Amino acid sequence: MNQTPQGDARTTESAEATEQPAHPRFTKPQRVAFVQSAWHRDVVAECRDAFLAEIEARHIARAHIDVFEVPGAFEIPLHVQLLAKTRRYTAIVAAGLVVDDDSVAETVIRALMEVQLRTEIPVFSAVVTPQQFRETADADFLRRHFASKGAEVAAACANTLLSLERLRGQVAAGIV
Could you tell me the pLDDT band of residue 130, with boundaries at 50, 70 and 90? Answer: confident
Q: Which of 14-28, 60-74, 120-134, 138-152 has the lowest mean pLDDT?
A: 14-28
pLDDT for 44-89, tens place per residue? 999 999 999 999 999 999 999 999 999 999 999 999 999 999 999 9
Q: What is the mean pLDDT of residues 9-24?
A: 57
Query: In CATH, which of 3.40.50.960, 3.40.190.80, 3.10.105.10, 3.40.50.720 is domain 29-172?
Result: 3.40.50.960
pLDDT for 52-64, tens place per residue? 999 999 999 999 9
HEC string of the chain? CCCCHHHHHHHHHHHHHHCCCCCCCCCCCCCEEEEEECCCHHHHHHHHHHHHHHHHHCCCCHHHEEEEEECCHHHHHHHHHHHHHCCCCCEEEEEEECCCCHHHHHHHHHHHHHHHHHHCCCEEEEEECCCCCCHHHHHHHHHHHHHHHHHHHHHHHHHHHHHHHHHHHHHHCCCC
pLDDT at residue 134 tops 50: yes
Q: What percent of the chain has pLDDT over 90?
A: 66
